């Protein structure tokens, strides 16, 4: 094998590796699930919000649902889940196959005493993005909680993805703590 053939093979392998890394680092497609997560109380017992996101190659209705999965007490940890799902989408380009969403940060702020909690991402459910967090209430009272979510939307291509825009939204709920 000559030098030109070796260079061509190395270049071809390099292109394949770059495409594989690009595909692997892209977020998963957020499939259209309709009102699956906005109509069930187990996902939305604290509230549900729907936001229209205009993308470069279409639009998507993203639903944010906050649930309280444990009973809030001052001496127990309170567990919350935040589920982000795609209700409906319209794509205007043939080379875009869907919308992806990557959460970069989720914070919860208690306006009653100023406590802040960070969150972690969960792998379940598979057709939505879900974050779960633990909050420790220090006092019995009616607390006003503010959930601040920073996320990035992606246009998913046949191979790889292109970041579209980064957004921050905040949602308020009221939580009675005994």
Cβ atoms of 153 and 100 within 8 Å: the answer is yes
- Greatest Cα pair distance, the chain, in angstroms, is 78
Residue ranges of the domains in the chain? Answer: 29-177
- The answer, yes or no, to whether residue 124 has pLDDT greater than 60, is no
Residue listed under structure tokens 């057709």: 127
- pLDDT confidence bin for 122, thresholds 50/70/90: low
Cβ atoms 134, 78 nearer than 8 A:
yes
Q: What is the mean pLDDT of the chain?
A: 86
pLDDT of residue 126: 65
Give tens-digit pLDDT for 11-67: 888 988 887 887 777 788 888 888 888 888 888 889 899 999 999 999 999 999 999
Average pLDDT over residues 136-162: 88
Q: What CATH fold (topology level) applies to the domain 29-177?
A: Immunoglobulin-like (2.60.40)
> Model pTM?
0.83
Of the pLDDT bands very low, low, confident and very high (cuts 50, 70, 90), residue 72 is: confident
List, for residues 78-108, the tens digit of each pLDDT value.
Answer: 888 889 999 999 999 888 888 999 888 888 8
3-class state of residue 39 by DSSP: coil
Q: Where are the alpha helices (DSSP H) in the chain?
A: 3-25, 41-44
| Alpha carbon distance 55, 93 (integer Å) | 11
Structural tokens at position 87? 């209700």
């Amino acid at each position: 094998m000559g030098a030109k053939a070796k260079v061509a093979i190395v270049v071809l392998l390099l292109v394949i590796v770059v495409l594989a890394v690009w595909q692997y680092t892209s977020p998963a497609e957020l499939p259209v699930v309709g009102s699956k997560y906005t109509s069930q109380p187990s996902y939305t017992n604290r509230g549900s919000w729907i936001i229209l996101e205009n993308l470069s190659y279409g639009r998507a209705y993203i639903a944010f649902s906050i649930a309280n999965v444990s009973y809030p007490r001052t001496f127990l940890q309170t567990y919350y889940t935040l589920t982000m799902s795609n209700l409906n989408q319209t794509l205007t380009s043939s080379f875009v196959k869907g919308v992806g969403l990557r959460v970069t940060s989720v914070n919860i702020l208690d306006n009653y005493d100023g406590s802040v909690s960070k969150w972690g991402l969960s792998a379940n459910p598979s057709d939505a993005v879900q974050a779960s967090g633990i909050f420790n209430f220090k006092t019995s009272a009616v607390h006003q909680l503010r959930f601040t979510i920073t996320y990035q939307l992606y246009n998913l291509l046949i191979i790889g993805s292109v970041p579209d825009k980064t957004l921050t939204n905040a949602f308020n709920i009221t939580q009675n703590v005994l």
